[in-house]
Amino acid sequence: MFPKPKPQLKPNTYAYESEPMVKATGFREYDARWLFGSEINLMGVQALGLGLGTLIHELKREPKIVTGHDFRSYSASIKMALTNGLIAAGCQVHDIGLALTPMAYFAQFALDLPCVAMVTASHNDNGWTGVKMGVDRPLTFGPDEMARLKEIVLEGRFKPREGGSYAFVENFPARYIADLTSRPKLKRRLKVVCACGNGTAGAFAPQVLEKIGCEVIPLDCELDHTFPNYNPNTEDMKMLHAMRDAVLANKADVALGFDGDGDRCGVVDNEGEEIFADKVGVMLARDISAQHQGAVFVADVKSTGLFATDPMLIKNGARTDYWKTGHSYMKRRVNEIGAIAGFEKSGHFFFNKPFGRGYDDGLLFAFAVCDMLDRNPGKTMADLKNALPKTWGSPTMSPHCPDEQKYGVVDAVIAHFEAEKKKGGKVAGQPIRDLNTVNGVRVTVEDGTWGLVRASSNKPELVVVVESPASETRMREMFAAIDGVLRTHKEVGEYNQKI
């Protein structure tokens, strides 16, 4: 039998090279993330594969699975260790090689395979690894599946089976690119900065944008797993500022930036101003609802209140459901309620028919932006942004909080605001109008100013976002109120960035 994993082993020892090590906190709400070497070793990854294969059989799914890996120095070896475990569990593995995460999702449809295991740590710092998994296309695992996988792996409840196999799928990226670009070319010749942060998208995004008719200005598209300039993270201000500088220097129409595994996109307009993804979502919702009256959308709880209050969306009969943050939660909600699209502030956008297959793809997001500009030939990206009602919003701010303690802190924060609302107390000087606790707590006061606190699903952090339709001062007052509550918890550390 395969040995039961241990939570910690000392490097450069026989045990480290011959026994599985898997830290429990790597099993997140909807995918898995570890620091490779200190939290999981290759034998631990093999145990993960064996556990995933065991779960696939337990869920009575056909044991056929797509695997791929991102561009990190260790990702290919991690994928092969995962593959060994899957084969030992009786799974037929179809390896598409170096890939974007949405390319792996597409492969489930193109190769008619039910399951996927994509080796990627997305935008996390170099040193991290992880796996995005699913058994019901286009969905990925949620908390129930992740909890069961964690139990199988950590308790060593593996069930090896015969019948496992491995096949490499040659030239699969060409099939993905052909599918994406089998559409009319843009009528408007757009000059587009394509920023990839030296991540995996650099191998694919520039040529895809060129194929639909864009003039592409590449920015940090050379593959370099050390990420020498900044992390390929579309919420990172360093990346957004580099995109701004490239737009202004080249007089481009727009900059489109892709995260480490290509399932997210960030936008900077022609004037060099970054547009947070939730505002881009409102712009796209306007564009889509003008073509599809009564369209239903999903937005995550970190997103702007404009999805509910924008006059044009109201005029078009659009309806938006605010839901849990996280690509897995959003995918499920979009498909459950038949939404035409879902928008997450982090830049995960989900397009259903007629635009997509229900999963998140940064390149489809980029296409939607280009198509919106194509349908508005006399307007710039800044014009479309400026047509939105004005709000003042923060970036996504992430104070450090240990994985073992972050959910307890959030529970305490929820309890605090529930108690304030019950006794008629005020937040940032105004009575509470609404509390949304579907994912952490989003507290909205009388003038529409709101603040959110939730636990990050993939890092030892909290997530804080604030927005006001009234003024920048009110936004800052809400941040001060939220931060004041967090400062009562010694477990909460410094922010990665502040407003």
Q: DSSP labels for 340-352?
A: SEEE-TTSBEEE-
Instruction: Name the residue type at position 100.
Output: L
Tell me the per-residue pLDDT of 124-181, one tens digit each, with 9 for 90 and over: 888 999 999 999 999 999 999 999 999 999 999 999 999 999 999 999 999 999 999 9
* Helices (H), ranges, 337-435: 362-374, 381-386, 403-422
At residue 11 the predicted structure's pLDDT band, cuts being 50, 70 and 90, is very high
Q: Residue 176: which of 372, 374, 368, 364 has the closest Cα?
A: 364
Under DSSP, is residue 10 helix (H, G, I), strand (E, B) or coil?
coil
pLDDT of residue 395: 85
pLDDT at residue 385, rounded to an integer: 97
pLDDT of 457: 80
Q: Model confidence at 68, in pLDDT bands (50, 70, 90)? A: very high
Nearest one of 90, 85, 88 to 63, comparing CA atoms: 90
Domain 14-172 grouped into CATH 3.60.10.10: no
- Residues 6+ positions from 423 with CB-CB distance below 8 Å: none
Q: Please spell the DSSP secondary structure of 422-485, one letter per residue.
A: HTT-EETTEEEEEEE-SSSEEEEETTS-EEEEEE-SSSSBEEEEEEESS-HHHHHHHHHHHHHH
Q: Give me the amino acid identity at 14.
A: Y
95 close to 167: Cβ distance less than 8 angstroms: yes
The average pLDDT across 42-64 equals: 98
According to DSSP, residue 354 is labeled T
3 state SS of 194: strand
Q: Which of 361, 381, 393 is nearest to 278 (CA)?
A: 393
In this predicted model, what pLDDT tens digit does every residue of 330-371 receive, in sequence order? 999 999 999 999 999 989 999 999 999 999 999 999 999 999
8 Å CB contact between 35 and 123: no
**Stated length of the chain:** 499
Mean pLDDT confidence for 51-74? 97
**Mode of pairing for the β-strands spanning 265-269 and 254-258:** antiparallel
Token reading at 305 = 């209140």
Q: Is 378 exposed, middle or buried (0-12, 13-18, 19+ CB in 10 A)?
A: exposed
133 membership: H or E segment, kind and range = strand 128-134
In the chain, CATH 3.30.310.50 sits at: 392-486
pLDDT, position 498? 81
Statement: 392-486 belongs to CATH 3.30.310.50: yes
Whether 466 and 393 have beta carbons less than 8 Å apart is answered as yes
**What is the rounded average pLDDT of the residues 471-495?**
97
Instruction: Compute the average pLDDT of residues 206-235.
Output: 95
Closest C-alpha among 3, 14, 110, 36 to residue 359 = 110
Mean pLDDT of 219-242: 93
User: Which tens digit of pLDDT belongs to each residue from 374-410?
Assistant: 999 999 999 999 999 999 999 889 999 999 999 999 9
Q: Which two tokens stand for residue 367?
A: 């296409």
Residues 408-450 pLDDT 10s: 999 999 999 999 999 999 999 999 999 999 999 999 999 999 9
Pick from 484, 409, 396: nearest CA to 440: 409
Q: What is the pLDDT of residue 322?
A: 93
CATH architecture for segment(s) 181-386: 3-Layer(aba) Sandwich (3.40)
Over 80: is that where the pLDDT of 458 sits?
no
pTM of the model: 0.91
Residue 126: the pLDDT is 87
Mean pLDDT of 60-88: 97
Asked whether 254 and 269 are in contact (CB, 8 A), the reply is yes
CATH 3.40.120.10: which residues of the chain?
14-172, 181-386
Question: For position 236, what pLDDT does the model report?
Answer: 87
- Phi/psi for 285 (5° steps) reads -65, -40
